[in-house]
Structure 1
């Protein structure tokens, strides 16, 4: 599924060096892998295996350029996370990562990538997403 309003950028497009990204997923190995990958691409990355910690950080004023959010987590679903963001008035682009073939999304998301996702596709979408956000 192609994220709404996001199309692939040409290979070699410049990444927004230093853009901060939050990764929220209950799988510590995936969080660590994404931290390594995105850090190597020049992003500043904070990883969370507990969604409420990420929400708390956002509520305290953190302003990442994007949040990579798992859809299915035991403590708080992606949908509940999106609802909490909206209730707190926090406006941040969210890229949903989902192992569910057709997630039901009732919150605002910038796009959806199916798990397992293609790393190159993730980087292209994240590049587009963070380049479009002005902070």
Structure 2
């Protein structure tokens, strides 16, 4: 199934592990969604500042150059970006549904495909 309408979901993945990033992008694209991938939060933020906001951001908890906390604060500082739902992806187990301020949840690595697609569909359909 390919979603080709102008309202096609756009998902941003910010993950420094090429293996994890490519796997997530492949799974999501196979379901018909458009995906933008970035290795660092710095590059992801540059894209966001000059492009249409995605419907969802999957953000690695631990990143080089700019922390996930700094990235989230930068999103909140820009009104057109502050409403984008952000889901943390991490190897850490959290007891709370939103492990960081300004996030809507988390997915624990290794990420179950069903859990990933449930999150994608929730925010992008």
TM beyond 0.5: yes
Does residue 31 (structure 1) correspond to residue 21 (structure 2)? The answer is: yes
SS in 2 for 1:88: coil
Contact in 2 for aligned 1:35/1:47 (Cα 8 Å): yes
The aligned runs of 1:60-99 (5 Å cut-off) are 60-89=50-79, 90=81, 91-99=83-91
Number of residue pairs matched by the alignment = 117
Q: Which residue of 1 aligns with 2:92?
A: 100
TM-score scaled to structure 1, two decimals?
Answer: 0.77
SS in 2 for 1:100: coil
TM-score scaled to structure 2, two decimals?
Answer: 0.83
Structure 1 gap ranges (5+): 1-14
Structure 2 gap ranges (5+): none
SS in 2 for 1:63: coil
Aligned with 1:115 (options 100, 109, 112): 109
Supply the RMSD in Å over aligned alpha carbons.
2.0
Shift of 1:52: 0.9
CA–CA separation in structure 1 for the residues paired with 2:113 and 2:36: 18
